[in-house]
Amino acid sequence: MSNKRSGRPREMHPEGRLRDEILRQLERVEGGAWVDRLAPAAVFSADDRRRITEYVGGITRRRRWLDFVVDSYSARAGTIDPVIRHVLRIGTYELTELQRAPHAAVFASVEQAKRLGRKGVGSFVNGVLRSMARDLDHLPEPKSGDEVVDSAILYSHPDWMARRWVERFGLDGARKLMDYNNRRPVHCLRVNTLKTTIDDFKRTLDELEVAWTESPYLPEFLRVTKLQPVLAAGLLRSGVAAVQDESAGLISRVLRPKPGEFIIDACAAPGGKLVHAGILMKNRGRLVGVDVNEKRLDSGLAVAHRHGLSIVEALVADLRSLAPTDSLPVADAVLLDAPCSGLGVLSRRPDLRWRRTEASLVETTVFQDQLLDAAARFVKPGGRLVYATCTIEPDENELRVDAFLERHPEFQLDSVSGDLPPSVEAGGCMVTLPHVHEIDGAFAARLVRG
């Protein structure tokens, strides 16, 4: 994007470069890239990279609401060029979500539009955002006549998700859930008790001036307000701690791994639960992680080694194609953290809400049934099979367990009562809901072979 005045090139202001990087990243997301795997250009400072990431994640979360506001102030709502729409989304996000000074947000957006070199686009962006800025105290509200659709627009979710959740949780509950999904996720650290104690790690955070609070669910998990000092101190790189949500830690507790056991993690990548299980086993026994993604599995194995785990092995394979052998015999316990829709982690995965469809849930459940049947082959008599997901949808959770038990009468549901705080137990299973428990949504059921 060149910028010329009086025939001579002018060096772009740092704010302009940062804003153009945000635009570039938004275009990549629109093209299919995942927000949580984007890496801003290395020329930017650490603070600027964080700002870029926050903008891209926030704009992606609030995309439907931002577009509604933009279209309310534009005469060409249905014909706005996709790149110009991104420029308007950035400006609207600053005005409505970040409360940036209107003159600064409008000026930066207009300058960015001008850099695109398209005739009249600066005036168009200026008109839309200035009109919006005058109405910030009374922005238009969606009034389609359907309160579910209006809520979906207001909280920036697809209609089908909002409708499912209204049916389950009521309108107020669905709005609370969607509101939670629009928040920045809380960082949680799992302490590696093989390398330190929880009290010593708390003292380390105090020395780093990182505010922390204890998890209400798990003693080895601490919620922190910022990660940068933890990263700078090398606490993650050395394996003293790891970033992990409490819901994932609860799943490891449902697995109930014991020192000396042989355990298979059937969909192990990227390895967070694999590592946690090894820590709970006190690095005694055998722990095999199976996954089709070799690169992510190797990364998980490297993390396990940083944590001081010597009992972890990796097997690159599709579980459905395996049968028990001498190298991978039946196990004391098998964890199947199954691929799913991910509708419990929408606060961490901003783009996921726009990439899932209700029809895709059916395809996912077929895959989950196949994996469950495959995992059952590796559970010894009296052994445990834990089925887990990071979704809150019954189709992928309770209904999959019910269908499995019908196909496999040799298994029984083993209640998690007594292993977990009562607040995360429902029907003998582990169930967490973001708007209720203030952590990621997840599910886990423990099944025992007779």
Pair type for strands 221-224 and 187-191:
antiparallel
Is 225 buried (19+), middle (13-18) or exposed (0-12) by CB count in 10 A?
exposed
267 tagged catalytic: no
Q: Which two tokens stand for residue 175?
A: 């709005």
Q: What is the largest CA-CA distance in the chain?
A: 83
In the chain, what is the straight-line distance between the N-terminal and C-terminal CA atoms, in Å? Answer: 67
β-strand partners of 224? 187, 212
Going by C-alpha positions, the residue among 29, 79, 12 that lies closest to residue 350 is: 29
Tally of CA atoms within 13 A in the half-sphere of 446 that contains its CB: 24
Residue 400, token pair as written in the block: 């999959």
Active-site residue (options: 267, 340, 390, 429): 390
Separation of alpha carbons 448 and 450, rounded Å: 6
Contact 257, 237 (CB under 8 A): no
The SS3 call for residue 128 is helix
By annotation, the residues acting in catalysis are: 390
